[in-house]
Amino acid sequence: MVEENKNDRNNKNHKSCKRKKNNNEKKIERPEEPAACTAQQQPPKKKNRKEVAIFGNYRNYYGYRVGQDLEEDPRLKVMKREWFEGKDSLDIGCNSGLLTIAIARKFGCKSIFGVDIDGARIEDAHWTLRKVVNARMHNVPSKIPKSVDAKVVNGAAESLTEGKRDNDGDSPLLVEKDLFKIVSFQKGNFVQNWRPPANTYYQTILCLSVTKWIHLNWGDDGLITLFRRAWTLLQPGGVFILEPQPWSSYYNNRLVSETASANYKNIQIPPEDFQDVLLDKVGFRMVENLTSGLSGTKSGFDRPILAFWK
C-alpha cells in the first residue's frame, strides 16, 4: 500500500492545519505525538521489509494512484491543451513518468522534461517510454508483466496514439519516433543540484504531489526554493500547475526519517498558505483553481489543483 494514500485517508480524523494568531506569532497545529513515539526514541519501523520512500519516491505509484478501473489519470481532465501544445514543459518529481508521457502525447508537447530525485524511478520512466514506443511502432500488444502499473502503461500507449491521430492524422510510426525526441527524463534534486540546460525556460511547469516531500526533507526553505526556482524557470506568461498535499497528510509521513521529523516540527508555512506565498512573495500574478473539474479521483488522492501564471 502506498503510504501517502493510506495516510491521507487515515488522517481525515486528525485536525487539519489551522493558523492561530497570537501576538503576531503563528502557531501551526500538530496532532499530539503518542507517548514514546518520536524519531529518536523509536526509529521508523520497517513494515514487511518494504523500502521506505523518504522522498515519496514510491515504486508502482501509478498502480495505486490511478487504480484498477481507470485508464486515464483523472488529473489529465483538468489540464488544458493550450498549456502544452507546441510548448516546452517541465515535470518536477515525475516518478516513473506515466503522467509525463501521457501529457506529451495527449496534448502534443513540443518537449516535456521529467526530473526526479530517485534514479530508480528515472530508470522506470525510460523503460516505460521505450515500452510505449515499441508497442506502437510494432503494432503488437506489449508484453508487459500483468501488474496494475502495466495496465496503466498499456492504457497510456493506446490513448497516446489515438490522441495524435485525432489531432493531425500522423502515422503511428512517425508519432512514436517523435515521442523519443519530445520526452526526456533526468535524475536530479530540484531544490539542490539540478539545473536545466543553459538558457532553458519553460512555458509550463508541473509540480504534482511533490510539495509535502520537499517540505518534509528540506523544510520551509526548501519549499520556498522550489517556488522561486519554478518562477525563475518559467517564461513570462507561463503557468505553474501545483497539486499540494494537505497538512493533515504530513502527520503519518513525519517519521520517514529524522530529518523529516525535525522539519515537521518546524514547518511554519502550511499548504493552505501556499497560494498567498506564491502570489504575494514569489511574484505569480494570477491563480485559477482547477479542482472542481476533477472527477474519478481515487479516495485519498482528492487534492486541490491550482494553476499560477507568471
Ligand X SMILES: C[S@@+](CC[C@H](N)C(=O)[O-])C[C@H]1O[C@@H](n2cnc3c(N)ncnc32)[C@H](O)[C@@H]1O
Give the residue closest to ligand X by C-beta: 93
Q: Shortest approach of ligand X to residue 172 CB, angstroms?
A: 26
Distances (CA, A) of 136 to 76, 141, 169: 21, 8, 15
Nearer Cβ to ligand X, position 2 or 17?
Answer: 2
SS3 state at 39: coil
Nearer Cβ to ligand X, position 93 or 271?
Answer: 93
Q: Grid cell 486541490 — which residue?
A: 304
* Burial track 231-265 (b if 16+ CB lie within 10 A, e otherwise): bebbeeebbbbbbbbbbbbbbbbbbbbeebbebbe
Beta strands in the chain (DSSP E): 19-22, 25-28, 88-92, 111-116, 183-187, 202-208, 234-243, 286-289, 306-309
Q: Shortest approach of ligand X to residue 95 CB, angstroms?
A: 4
Nearer Cβ to ligand X, position 161 or 297?
Answer: 297
Q: Shortest approach of ligand X to residue 43 CB, angstroms?
A: 21
Q: Shortest approach of ligand X to residue 270 CB, angstroms?
A: 19
Q: Which positions lie near ligand X, rule CB under 6 A?
A: 4, 55-57, 61, 92-95, 99, 115-118, 121, 189-191, 208-210, 213-214
Count of C-beta atoms within a 10 Å radius of residue 205? 25
Nearer Cβ to ligand X, position 17 or 99?
Answer: 99
Q: Shortest approach of ligand X to residue 133 CB, angstroms?
A: 20
Nearer Cβ to ligand X, position 179 or 208?
Answer: 208
